[in-house]
Structures are given as structure tokens and as C-alpha cells.
Homo-oligomer: A and B are copies of this chain.
Amino acid sequence: MEHALPPVDLATLRNAFQGRWFTDPADMAPFLTDWRRQWHGTALAVVQPERTEDVAAVVRWCQHMRVAVVPQGGNTGLSGGSVPGLEGRCIVLSLKRLNRVRALDADNNTVTLEAGVTLQTAQEVAAEAGRLFALSLAAEGSCTVGGNLATNAGGVHVLRYGTARELCVGLEVVTAEGEVWHGLHGLRKDNTGYDLRDLYIGSEGTLGVITAAVFKLHPLAGAQAVALWSAPSATAATRVLHQALARCGAQLTAFELMNPLSIALVQRHMPGAAWPLREAAPWYVLMEVSTANETSCAQALEDVLGPAMEAGDCCEAVLSHNEGQFRALWAWRENISEAQGAEGRTIKHDISLPISRIDAFISMASDALARHYSALRLVVFGHLGDGNLHFNLSPPVDACTPTHATAFLALEPGVNTLVHDVVQAHGGSISAEHGLGVLRRDEAARRRDPVAHRLMLRLKTALDPHGLMNPGKVLPQA
């Protein structure tokens, strides 16, 4: 049966958190605004516990006082899930200092990390042990593995290794009651009850606080190489994806699509690099293979692209032959988001589709945008191998200044509806890897299967009966 834990006294709590309990507005400010500066909130305090028991104590105090808890990792989310709203009656629970590497078991290919470890640190720790921490995404220098799990983050290697969910085997969670679930096992197979792990993963702190996790590690690839190539159509690119999967299987580790405007923005805002293809084309692809050695990498790329060129599905290609070229070709893809940010505000869509519907979706959505929003510029890039596109819009070329931002952003609801209607008509999802947060909360609720929606509300009530865990995120407030 449920039992109440002893409440925690505020003075005791403040005392326990000396130097890690902020109430000064200037100290709190960075924790109250998201990094895109779209959402601003207020809080009673920001607290940075260093141990799981301290997280539990804070949550118990909040429950006792009916104060909301807003868990926060690196605060790099794109959907506003990690900052509070304007109600003010909340504590921001920053997990940045809960950041120890608890264990690395190379012989089990697992690493146990506290929630506040940055993704980059996780990658480095694994590499030092001769292993690969396979999650990789743009914010890796500052995002945390706890935030990655809370949003079920994706990135550029999902095609081969899966999302954050698929890389996690065990969890430690502080529940809404401030109890600790010790579920930090390092097992590939465990069927001893309901899957609590996957329920907390992707729930954006609305059911409890992930404080630590066991992640799978993979062998380091012997060698890696990329090809940057151009395709006459998205259909052609998809055809080559299937040929690459058939030829390379799991050795195909990334397959990224980019439209010409994506590349043009990188050229404009990150000058210095020379675009290596001679002819313009409707689409560009960055394709990565990871194999035992450089010879087999080169062979794999050639085996895929040779026939694709003959079939007319690949127009022109360059291959990396060393680490420098590898990094330089990847940079074209990695810099798109930042380059688009430098072009003014962005209307983002983080959508996924069955791969078989990508081409039809792109045609239909682009046509509809051209009809109704002809001045907006479409920046399309993303993980074709996962069916996940960032189908973004930038302001008209002569309206990129801050003074135009308001007019541009006023278009956002209409543009979202247009794009997401086409996504839904093609069996897709309006949130692939950025989470719902507040940005997609209401729209996801409207578009969700009503039975699924009622089930989710019941799960929320079952695990957070007072509605104090990151309220207003993921689900509309009751």
C-alpha cells in the first residue's frame, strides 16, 4: 500500500542546499527562459541538487507544499518543455550538478550516468573505454543525457542505433511522491513487469524525474566515411536509401537529406568552406557508412553510388578520404540549423512519415505552402533514413530583420496547421524527436486518437495525482 513519506521542512531544505538554492532574479534568469528565447517563466527558486536523495527531498517538499516541480537538464529543448510557465508557484529542479559517471562496464557494454552528464561527456567517457555512445545531436556540448531521455531525443545516428529510448536499459527515477525507483540494471532482456522505463522516457518530466540511467554502448567503428551527393528527386534519394540498406545493412549509419536552400544558408552564414559539387540539383544527401576499415568503407560507398549514378538516381558525388574531409562534409549538414537561425526567426516542423510517403508529402506540402505562403522560404533537411524531416520556414528574403519578426511569427499557427494536416493525411507524426513541451501540446492533443488521449490522462493522474510534475507540458492541464 502507499505510504506517505515524511515532509521536509523548508529551512532544512534550504540549509541542505546552501549555495545551490537560488532565489535572486539574476541568478534564476538563465533557468527561466528557453534557449530559443520563446518561453519565459517565473519560479519560487531554482535548486541544483547533487545527489538523488536531494532530488527526492525537494520533490517531497514540493508535494507537501503543493508546489510544482519543473525538471531541467541543459535547457536546450526546442519545444519549451524545460522552463516554467508564468504561474510562479514552482521550483525549477536543475539537474546539471547531478552529473557523476557512476559506472562503466566495458564487458557488459553499458555505462551508468547521472541525469546531468552532458551528452558530449557521455561520448568522451565511452570513447576512453574504447566504446561508442551512439547518441549524437547538435546540442551535445550542453544538453544532458537526462534531457535526452526525457524527450526521447534522436539525432543523426538513429537509423543505425535508435533513439535515446532504444539506447537505455535501466533507469533511476524520483517519483512524483519523492520516492526513488531503483531500476538501474544493465540487462538487455528483462520482463519482470510493466515497462516503467519506457513510460518515463519521453514523458518530459511530467510523471517523475529521471535521475540516472544505464545506457548501451556499442563497439567503435573501425573506419567511417561519408559521401555527399545530389539527387534529381526525393524519390530517387529514397530509392538509393533502400539500395544502401540492402548493400550495407547496419553499416549504413546516417542518411541525411538537404534541400538547396539549406546549403545556400550555410554558405551565406558560415563562409570559408567550398561547396564541393559543381551542378545545382533539387536535393543533396549526406550518407555515412561505418565498417571495419577504410577500404571497405570506400567500397561500400562506391557499391551504392555506382549503380545509382547509372540509374540516374545520383547526379554527382564526392567521398571523404580522410578525417578532415569527413568532418568538412558533415559540417554542411550540421550547420544548417544555426545558419537558418542567423536568417531570422524560424517556423519549425519536426515531423516524421513512413519513408514510402516522404516524396508525396514533400510535393503536397510544398505546393500548398507555395499557394498560400508564397513569400516564405522552405528549408528542408533531416534524417531521411528515419523518415524524419525538419520541414522549416524562413521569412521572405527581404524581411529577415527583427522588425519583421512579429508579422512572420503571426503566420506560424496557419503554417503549422497546413503542414501538419498534410503530415496527418500521410500517416505521419507532428513530433518526431523534439518532444511536445508546450509548443506542440495542444495540437498533439487535438490530433491524437481520442482513446489514446484518455489513456494518457489516466496515466498522468495515476503517477502524478496532484498534477505537480512539470505542469502544462505534454498534456493540456486538467
Contact = CB atoms under 8 A, between A and B. Distances in A.
Given A109-B355, A356-B108, A195 B190 contact: no
A462 B458 contact: yes
Contact of A451 (B154, B181, B238, B432): B181
A193 B461 contact: no
A188 to B, nearest CB: 5
A166 B166 contact: yes
Contacts of A139: none
A201 B250 CA distance: 25
A401 B352 CA distance: 59
A221 B249 contact: yes
Contacts of A238: 107
B247 A188 contact: no
A130 to B, nearest CB: 8
A158 B352 contact: no
Contacts of A33: none
Contact of A187 (B179, B203, B352, B435): B352
A459 B181 contact: no
Nearest to A170: B427
Interface in A36-90: none
A110 B356 CA distance: 10
A246 interface: yes
Contacts of A460: 194
Interface string A174-193: 01000111110111111111
Contact of A432 (B190, B199, B249, B430): B190
Interface string A144-186: 0000000110100010101101100000000100011111011
Contact of A462 (B246, B436, B462): B462
A440 to B, nearest CB: 7
B461 A186 contact: no
A316 interface: no
Contacts of A182: 449, 451
Contacts of A193: 436, 444, 448, 452-453, 456, 474-475
Q: Which of A187, A191, A219, A433 has the most CB of B within 10 A?
A: A191
Contacts of A432: 187, 189-191
A434 interface: yes
A428 interface: yes
Interface in A182-233: 182-183, 185-196, 198-199, 201-203, 207, 218-221
Contact of A355 (B107, B198, B458): B107
A387 B188 contact: yes
Contacts of A30: none
Interface in A444-478: 444, 447-449, 451-456, 458-463, 474-475
Interface string A230-252: 00000000100010011101110
Nearest to A195: B198
A9 interface: no
A451 B202 contact: no
A292 interface: yes
A386 interface: yes
Contact of A180 (B166, B221, B440, B451): B451
14 contacts: A110-B354, A151-B191, A158-B188, A175-B455, A182-B449, A185-B354, A189-B432, A194-B203, A194-B207, A194-B460, A195-B201, A196-B455, A199-B199, A461-B462
For the complex of A and B, list the 3 residue pairs with the smallest distance between their C-beta atoms, beginning with the closest: A250-B250, A198-B198, A107-B356
Given A187-B428, A195-B201, 5 more contacts: A107-B242, A107-B355, A160-B250, A187-B354, A188-B388
